Chains A and B, each alone.
Chain A
Amino acid sequence: MATASLVLSDDSALSRLDHMLLRLERGLALASGLAVFSLMVLAVVSVGGRNLFSSPLPGYVDWIEQAMPLIAFMGASYVMREGGHIRMDIIVGQLRGRLLYLVELITTLAVLVLMVLLVWGSWAHFQRSFDFAAPKWSRDSAMDTALPLGPAILLAPVAFGVLCVRLCLQVWAFGRAALTGQAVAVPLIADAAKQAQMEADQLQSSVKDAN
Chain B
Amino acid sequence: MEPIDIGLWVTGSMLVLVLLGMRVAFAAGLAGMVGLIWIFWAKKDYGLDDFGWALGVAVKTAGQVPHSKVSSQALSLIPTFILIGYLAYYAGLTKALFEAAKRWIAWVPGGLAVSTVFATAGFAAVSGASVATSAVFARIAIPEMLKIGYDKRFAAGVVAAGGTLASLIPPSAILVIYAIIVEQDVGKLLLAGFIPGAFSALIYGLLIIGLALTIKGFGPPVGGFTWRERLVALPPALPIVFVVVVIICFVYNPFGGDAWGTPTEGGAIGAFVVFLMALYQGMRWSQLKDALIETAKLSVMIFTIIWGVLIYVRFLGFADLPGAFSDWITALTMSPMLILICILLAYAVLGMFMDAIGMLLLTLPVVYPAIMALNGGAFVSAADSTFGMSGPMCAIWFGILVVKMAEFCLITPPIGLNCFVVAGVRDDLSVQDVFKGVTPFFIADAITIALLVAFPAIVLWLPSLA
In the complex, what residue of chain A is closest to B60 when comparing beta carbons? A124
B-side contacts of A80, CB under 8 Å = 23
B155 within 8 A of A: no
A135 to chain B, nearest CB (A): 21
A40 to chain B, nearest CB (A): 5
Q: Report B236-287 residues with CB < 8 Å from chain A CB.
A: 260-261, 264-265, 267-269, 271-272, 275, 278, 281-283, 287
B-side contacts of A153, CB under 8 Å = 67
In the complex, A79→B300 CA distance in Å? 7
Q: Is the CB of B275 within 8 A of A40?
A: yes
In the complex, A168→B64 CA distance in Å? 24
A165 to chain B, nearest CB (A): 16
B-side contacts of A79, CB under 8 Å = 297, 300-301, 304
Chain-A contact segment, one of B134-142, B206-214, B341-349, B373-381: B134-142
The one of A78, A107, A115, A122 that contacts B17, using a Cβ cutoff of 8 Å: A107
Given A84-B297, A88-B19 in contact, is the A36-B292 Cβ separation under 8 Å?
yes
B-side contacts of A84, CB under 8 Å = 297, 301
Q: Is the CB of A200 within 8 A of B297?
A: no
Given A68-B70, A207-B89 in contact, is the A88-B33 Cβ separation under 8 Å?
no
B324 within 8 A of A: no
In the complex, A44→B261 CA distance in Å? 12
A-side contacts of B60, CB under 8 Å = 121, 124-125
Q: Mark A24-54, 1 if CB is under 8 A from B, else 0.
A: 0010011011101101111110110010000
A-side contacts of B265, CB under 8 Å = 43, 46-47
In the complex, A143→B264 CA distance in Å? 19
A186 within 8 A of B: no
The one of B62, B67, B283, B305 that contacts A152, using a Cβ cutoff of 8 Å: B67
A134 within 8 A of B: no
Q: Is the CB of A86 within 8 A of B301?
A: yes
| Residue of B22, B71, B264 ringed by the most chain A CB atoms within 10 A | B71
In the complex, what residue of chain A is closest to B79 when comparing beta carbons? A36
Q: Mark A58-74, 1 if CB is under 8 A from B, else 0.
A: 00010011111101111
Given A39-B80, A87-B24, A118-B63 in contact, is the A68-B71 Cβ separation under 8 Å?
yes
Q: Report B420-443 residues with CB < 8 Å from chain A CB.
A: 420-425, 431
| Residue of A104, A115, A209 ringed by the most chain B CB atoms within 10 A | A209
In the complex, A115→B33 CA distance in Å? 10
In the complex, A32→B264 CA distance in Å? 18
Q: Is the CB of B71 within 8 A of A88?
A: no
Given A87-B24, A125-B60 in contact, is the A75-B296 Cβ separation under 8 Å?
yes
In the complex, A156→B303 CA distance in Å? 12
Report the count of interface residues on A (CB-CB < 8 A). Answer: 83
A-side contacts of B421, CB under 8 Å = 196, 199-200
B-side contacts of A121, CB under 8 Å = 59-64
Q: Mark B21-61, 1 if CB is under 8 A from A, else 0.
A: 11111110110010000000000000000000000000111
A-side contacts of B261, CB under 8 Å = 47, 50
B52 to chain A, nearest CB (A): 13
Given A88-B19, A192-B420 in contact, is the A122-B292 Cβ separation under 8 Å?
no
In the complex, A22→B230 CA distance in Å? 49
A125 to chain B, nearest CB (A): 4
The one of B298, B358, B424 that contacts A200, using a Cβ cutoff of 8 Å: B424
In the complex, what residue of chain B is closest to A91 when comparing beta carbons? B19
Q: Is the CB of B358 within 8 A of A86?
A: yes
A117 within 8 A of B: yes
In the complex, A82→B300 CA distance in Å? 12
Given A90-B415, A118-B63 in contact, is the A197-B425 Cβ separation under 8 Å?
yes
B-side contacts of A114, CB under 8 Å = 26, 29-30, 33
Chain-A contact segment, one of B90-98, B216-224, B388-396, B444-452: B90-98
Q: What are 13 pairs between A and B in contact, CB < 8 Å?
A: A29-B297, A30-B293, A39-B76, A39-B80, A71-B76, A71-B303, A87-B22, A88-B354, A89-B21, A107-B17, A111-B22, A193-B431, A210-B89
Known interface pairs A68-B76, A76-B304, A122-B67; 7 further A-B residue pairs with C-beta atoms within 8 A, sorted by A's residue number: A40-B83, A44-B272, A90-B415, A110-B30, A199-B135, A204-B139, A210-B283
